[in-house]
Amino acid sequence: MTALGSAKTVKTTCPYCGVGCGVLATPQADGSVAIAGDPDHPANFGRLCSKGSALGETLSLEGRLLHPEIGNRRAGWDEALDLVATRFREAIERYGPDSVAIYGSGQLLTEDYYVANKLMKGFVGSANIDTNSRLCMASSVAGHKRAFGSDTVPGNYEDLELADLVVLVGSNLAWCHPVLHQRLAAAKAERPDMRVVLIDPRRSSTADIADLHLPLRSDGDSALFVGLLGHLAHLGHVDADFVAQHTSDAESALLLAEDWPLDRVAEATGAATADIATFYDWFAKTERTVTVYSQGVNQSASGTDKVNAIINCHLLTGRIGRKGMGPFSVTGQPNAMGGREVGGLANMLAAHMDFTPEAIERVGRFWQAPNVATKPGLKAVDLFAAMARGEIKAVWIMATNPVDSMPDADAVRAALEACPFVVVSDMNAKTDTGHYAHVRLPAAGWGEKEGSVTNSERRISRQRPFLALPGEARPDWWIISEVARRLGHSKAFPYRTPGDIFAEHVALSSFENDGTRDFDLAGLSGADYAAIQPTQWPVRTKPSARMFGDGRFFTPDQKARFVPVVPPPPIRPAPGSFVLNTGRVRDHWHTMTRTGKAARLSAHYAEPFLEIHPADAERLNIRRATLVRVSNARASVTLRAVVTDRQPQGQVFAPMHWTDQFASNGRIDSLVAAKTDPVSGQPALKMARVHVEPAGARLFGFFVVAQSPALTSDYWAVAPINGGTRGELAWFNEPEDWIAWLKANFHLPANARIKTFSDDRVGRRNFAVLEDGRLILALYTSPDPVIVSRQWATTLLTKTNLSASVVLAGRPGADMPDPGATVCSCFSVGINTITAAIAKDGCDTVEAIGQCTKAGTNCGSCRPEIRRILAATMASLSQTRS
């Protein structure tokens, strides 16, 4: 990476979660980049979480794709772009526009998204553009639209600080939106009366700030909130005026809710009646209540209903659009919101307009596009299913890794394998998805590209570059525009800068809007793109901190809708199987393509794991830190067992991050069925039925190595550390020839001198290779999980003057006093030990010294020297005493 221009601080935003923190990036003289929170950014006011703080460590060019590739050969841009255009054109001509698709990402910038959406929907003439936001936000979008007539997040982050009750539903805020969590925790510390309720099957880290944790069965949320609605109505906690004037359909929702008294809710959700009652009571009595919800709500087969069950309660109490209250969906991705704004999902058209005849006509006019798509396209799960059936002839995947992140991930892999033409735009040369690409295009990454993003509180911020484009990498908007030109649409894609695109985006948002659409950026038209400050939309004339405070919604009658919700039966563990819940860890992002580069971020969790309750583990004879096989008819993965009572019995949890690049077999979404929410099409990623059993590993290993390895063990997981790679290994059968195995797996030269420790009875073997006191390789193996301090071992590669014993022992030696130069070689007794015996233990004869230290008691040849030391020490002692 090369800094852009002279080193100065650039204001940008974090590319990870939907909090969208402001970041100050300052390239340093040594080529590194100093990262700090932007104190002026309203999302974080200077804070950053571990992921954001480590951004500077993810910028190396190692593993980057730096030039286009066709097949496995390097190609020029022209050749690659021509090929992409040709194959897309051929498919469209032969099989129609719906035979091609774009699968994008909430990691794309708004400008990239806009151009991609415009190309597909306006010029290819198909709405087959969906993104990984489908996996993240679709149910919130659908729930918002059903209730509000628009996809609008009513509140903002400040509301969490102003609330007296914050209800966190299906949100591990502490790990997934850490800075927002910090803001909440700080507010709670300041106002201890403030209450936090956590609703989550797991006792996640977020439970630390919760006054009450309701461990529901998976998908028990609807029952809980339907019950709450009934409770509120029953006890009269209703804002009757608001309901009457600004909502409709309350009756039908309430009618259904009557069927859910407390004991039925308790029975269905598995939570304690008293706890539910407490929650209901708090909710009923606390005007300033914010209900935050995230993937636990969205990634469900009933996600949209859950969203509406929550919104219903806020509508009934009129707690929306005012300070410190409202339903609040926090997005997973940095620009899921931006994607929704441009319409970059298959069931939207553009700029918060749907496929209505008027909107199609309006957008067509605006784009001067003759061929605007007239109906929704294929949503993510349907898209890959169609691909598997051979209906998609060409697909272009940008900035996402569906082979790992989609449900039924092995089927996605098979679909890609079967697809005649796959283009992947990515920063990285090697990804599990890129493996199946016919053409790989090098995309510019964070810090290199510029554009804008929108965070979870509708705040548009600029991402600004501070690094030069590396190699031949290009921004996505440029790549897409180049293909559009080659498809014959040069006039519609004349962009020279992202600012050009943003201006068009602004113009479309306000085009014939007149307050009919929530998304309107009129106030930004003509703005100096370079200087745009973090701004909350809508911004007709000025930014809007909150929405719906005036009781006006975007439905035809401007009234919000209650949505009657019939809670689905919550998911109960079936005998012999577990309910698998999936999620994130604090320090990794998505499929680890960036966070997986930072040693600091890989230290928290360095391998894929399964959390399981101690009673379940005991029943299945799963010892802690051993490996488990988690399987069902779809797939089987191997994970490290973390035995913990954070996890309820009958349920297990595994993180979604690990790919084939980091672990032998940890792609957790391969276990998840491609079941979707009927309204939003969002897959139920948080639910799979699985079997869990000991993996049967006979031998475990742990290593640190300077060079990146090529592992062939039955199980492996790798993570970066300073100076190299660390890894966990396991074998079902011990390698027959260890030395050969080591040489092959760790690229050791044929004449490598391998130091070994072996204890045959225990079955433990340790290996070390050093060069001039620096570690090249340390491998520890044992029939039990290896007990070597990872914390300590991962520092070895940066140490000098290492002793082979320390490495082989797998721990530092105790701090032994320096014995000094050897006097008695039979017993290795040093001069310091002898003088200490004289001075401290009062030994005053050679014999006494011998008894005390053994010195001189074997061959006796050192006795004259001991006698001299004795005399000298006694003399100096008497001197100091007199």
Q: Does 787 interact with another protein (rule: CB under 8 A)?
A: yes
Residue 608 CB, shortest distance to another protein, in Å, is 10
If one asks whether residue 47 binds another protein (CB under 8 A), the answer comes out as: no
Tell the smallest beta-carbon distance from residue 183 to another protein (Å): 25
d(CA 96, CA 91): 7
Report the b/e string of 278-292 with b at 16+ CB within 10 A.
bbbebbbebebbbbb
CA distances (Å), origin 214, targets 71, 149, 270, 281, 819: 52, 31, 9, 14, 60
**CB of residue 53 to ligand SF4, shortest distance in Å:** 7
- Report the residue number, 105 or 782, with the smaller CB distance to another protein: 782
Q: Is 826 in the site for another protein (CB under 8 A)?
A: yes
Nearer to ligand SF4 by Cβ, of 183 and 765: the residue is 183
28 binds another protein (CB under 8 A): no
- Which listed range, 11-19, 389-397, 474-482, 871-879, lies at the site for ligand SF4 (CB under 6 A)? 11-19
CA 508, CA 118: separation in Å to the nearest integer?
Answer: 11
- CB under 8 A: which stretch of 114-122, 152-160, 440-448, 859-867 binds another protein? 859-867
Pick the closer one to ligand SF4 by CB: 203 or 586. 586
Torsion sign, CA atoms 564, 382, 584, 464: negative
Q: How far apart are CA 562 and CA 564, in angstroms?
A: 6
Locus of tokens 């949320």: 221
Q: List all residues 6 or more positions away from 875 whose beta carbon is below 8 Å from its beta carbon.
A: none
Is residue 20 a contact residue for ligand SF4 (CB under 6 A)? yes
CA distance 638 to 692: 10
Q: Which two tokens stand for residue 375?
A: 């109906």
CB of 27 to ligand SF4, least distance (A): 19
Nearest to 461 by CA among 154, 123, 44: 44
* 48 counts as binding ligand SF4 under rule CB under 6 A: yes
Output the CA–CA distances (angstroms, integers) from residue 226 to 442, 548, 687, 743, in the order listed.
48, 23, 21, 62
Work out whether 828 is an interface residue with another protein (CB under 8 A).
yes
Going from the C-alpha of 262 to that of each of 43, 297, 589, 766, the distances in angstroms are 38, 21, 39, 59
Residue 33 interacts with ligand SF4 (CB under 6 A): yes or no: no
Q: What's the min distance (Å) between Cβ of 582 and another protein?
A: 16
Do the beta carbons of residue 823 and residue 865 sit within 8 Å?
yes
User: By CB under 8 A, is residue 783 in contact with another protein?
Assistant: no
Does residue number 384 form part of the binding site for ligand SF4 (CB under 6 A)? no
Contact segment (CB under 6 A) with ligand SF4 among 172-180, 237-245, 355-363, 541-549 equals 172-180
178 binds ligand SF4 (CB under 6 A): yes
19 touches, from ligand SF4, another protein, none (C-beta below 5 to 8 Å by class): ligand SF4
Judged by CB, which is closer to ligand SF4: 401, or 857?
A: 401
Q: In whole angstroms, how close is the CB of 828 to another protein at the nearest point? A: 5
Q: Is 738 exposed, middle or buried (0-12, 13-18, 19+ CB in 10 A)?
A: middle
Q: Residue 531: exposed, middle, or buried by beta-carbon count in 10 A (0-12, 13-18, 19+)?
A: exposed
Name the CA dihedral angle for 747, 751, 752, 753, rounded to a multiple of 10 degrees.
Answer: 160
Shortest separation between residue 12's beta carbon and ligand SF4, angstroms? 11
Rounded to the nearest whole angstrom, what is the least distance from the CB of residue 602 to ligand SF4 in the complex? 16
Beta bridge partners of 610: 641
Enumerate residues 6+ apart whose C-beta is below 8 A from 336.
Answer: 18, 106, 133, 136, 137
Residue count, binding to another protein (CB under 8 A): 58
Q: Which is nearer to another protein, 9 or 789 (CB)?
A: 789
Which of ligand SF4, another protein, none does residue 805 bind (CB under 5 to 8 Å by kind)? another protein
Choose, by CB under 8 A, the member of 764, 776, 779, 843 that binds another protein. 764
Q: Which stretch binds ligand SF4 (CB under 6 A): 159-167, 175-183, 313-321, 542-550?
A: 175-183
* Binding of another protein by 758 (CB under 8 A): yes
Residue 791 interacts, among ligand SF4, another protein, none and using kind-specific CB cut-offs from 5 to 8 Å, with: another protein
Q: Does 741 bind another protein (CB under 8 A)?
A: no
Part of the chain binding another protein (CB under 8 A), chosen from 51-59, 116-124, 141-149, 748-756:
748-756
Distance between CA atoms of 578 and 619, rounded to whole angstroms? 13
202 interface partner picked from another protein, ligand SF4, none, CB below 5 to 8 A per type: none
Q: Pick from 81, 100, 179, 292: which binds ligand SF4 (CB under 6 A)?
A: 179
Task: Give the closest residue to 347 by CA, choosing from 152, 558, 506, 141.
Answer: 141
Least Å distance, CB 638 to another protein, is 12
Q: Which of 107, 110, 109, 290 is nearest to 197 (CA)?
A: 290
- For residue 559, the minimal CB distance to ligand SF4 (Å) is 35
Place of tokens 């599990």: 432
Binding partner selected for residue 21 from ligand SF4, another protein, none, CB under the kind-specific 5 to 8 Å limit: ligand SF4
**Should residue 840 be labelled a site residue for another protein when binding is judged by CB under 8 A?**
no
- Residue closer to ligand SF4 (CB basis): 553 or 589: 589
Rule CB under 6 A: say whether 17 interacts with ligand SF4.
Answer: yes
Q: How far apart are CA 28 and CA 328, in angstroms?
A: 39
Give residue 420's Cα distance to chain centre: 31
51 binds ligand SF4 (CB under 6 A): yes
Which lies closer to another protein via its Cβ, residue 571 or residue 775?
A: 775
Q: Is 698 in the site for another protein (CB under 8 A)?
A: no
Nearer residue to ligand SF4 within complex by CB, 489 or 590:
590
- Indicate whether 579 belongs to the interface with ligand SF4 (CB under 6 A): no
Q: Which of 28, 525, 861, 876 binds another protein (CB under 8 A)?
A: 861
Tell me how far apart the alpha carbons of residues 669 and 316 are, in angstroms, rounded to a whole number.
Answer: 37
Interaction of residue 802 with another protein, rule CB under 8 A: no
Which listed residue (1, 21, 398, 824) binds ligand SF4 by CB under 6 A? 21
What is the total residue count of the chain?
Answer: 882
Which one, 736 or 818, has the nearer CB to another protein?
818
Distances (CA, A) of 374 to 41, 90, 97, 354, 382: 40, 22, 12, 10, 18
Per-residue burial over 600-638, b = 16 or more CB atoms within 10 Å of its CB, e = otherwise: bbbbebbbbbbbbbeebbeebebeebbbbbbbbebbbbb
859 binds another protein, rule: CB under 8 A: yes
- Alpha-carbon radius of gyration of the chain: 31
Q: Which of 141, 202, 132 is nearest to 169 (CA)?
A: 202
Considering only residues 595 through 654, tell me which ones interact with another protein, judged by CB under 8 A: 603-607, 609, 611, 624-626, 640-642, 644
Taking the C-alpha atoms of residue 780 and residue 497, their distance in angstroms, rounded to an integer, is 53
Give the footprint of ligand SF4 on this chain (CB under 6 A). Answer: 14, 16-17, 19-21, 44, 48-49, 51-52, 177-179
Binding-site ranges for another protein (CB under 8 A): 603-607, 609, 611, 624-626, 640-642, 644, 700, 702, 728, 753, 755-762, 764, 770, 782, 784-792, 804-805, 808-814, 816, 825-828, 854, 857-861
